[in-house]
Amino acid sequence: MMLLYDETCFECSKLITQKYSTSFSLGIKAFDKHFHYPIYAIYGFVRYADEIVDTFHDKDKLQLLTDFKLKTFESIASKISLNPVLHSFQHVVNKYQIDHYLITAFLGSMEMDLEKTSYDETSYKEYIYGSAEAIGLMCLRVFCNGDNGQYEKLKEQAKSLGAAFQKINFLRDIKSDFEERGRTYFPNVNFINFSEQDKISIQQDILRDFEEGKKGIQNLPGGCRAGVYIAYVYYLELYKKVMLTSAKEISNKRIRVSDKKKVWLLAQALVRNKLNII
């Protein structure tokens, strides 16, 4: 019956992923089947931690996050949890030997969102590491499946790719982050006077991360490469749309890719991956 409980918990994480992210769900479907549950489990975990910070405004967020962190490490140590999200996550952490400092770094970034509304260069890099790069490294542990040499070889490029994705999110959500949450992530950038030069500087930084991250995709194991490449193509499309949008427009609306365009990008990415022309 334990197998049934495990499967039920993983299915909960799968449902969370599908409800919260159409794009991420499409990418996971391109993975070999044995990668599905582990990546759903990681997404479910980070999604729920993020919900504590961004959604539960009438609750004691710090206490909720503190409890979530405590229960996370308790479940990893005991290898069980009655919380389906934490149970599936601990299963993946223990099976793939995900470094605990990655989990601590991620939860640390979530806590920063409760305390900080603006970032300098140091705190910005710390936040990017915990909120994006650490998640990429958790996934890389799964993809490498115990091959430490491969993990070390791809680690820096995985961090760059995660950073590129997060910075694109920051740029397209710059209006809502400021108006709804009072946050400005980019250091030395004033949202009220967000300029074309600010935008260009951020774009150049993101492009460097994209270029480095792409090198890593080309060297990923075949069973996960297509899924990661789909995410890369989707975020690159977002990047292109941002490039064609003025700083003033970005300050007033959220940039998105239509569902029809996402399907086209998915098909295109699958073909390019199959032909090995990434």
- Average per-residue pLDDT for the chain: 93
Q: How far apart are CA 25 and CA 40, in angstroms?
A: 9
Buried/exposed code over 52-86 (b: 16+ C-beta within 10 A; e: otherwise) = bbeeeeeeebeebbeebbebbbebbeeebbebbbb
**Entry pTM:** 0.94
| pLDDT tens profile 244-275 | 999 999 888 888 888 888 889 888 888 888 87
Query: What one-letter code names the amino acid at 114?
Result: L
Q: What CATH number corresponds to the domain at position 140? A: 1.10.600.10
- Tell me what the mean pLDDT of segment 33-39 comes to: 97
Q: What is the pLDDT of residue 193?
A: 84
Q: What is the pLDDT of residue 183?
A: 85
Q: What is the pLDDT of residue 158?
A: 97
| pLDDT tens profile 213-224 | 999 999 999 999
Q: Tell me the longest C-alpha to C-alpha distance in the chain.
A: 59
- Tell me what the mean pLDDT of segment 15-33 comes to: 90
Tokens 């449902």, residue?
Answer: 15
H/E run at residue 121: helix 121-128
Q: How many domains are contained in the chain? A: 1
Tokens 């090995």, residue?
Answer: 276
Gyration radius of the chain over CA positions = 18
The domain in which residue 196 lies consists of 2-274
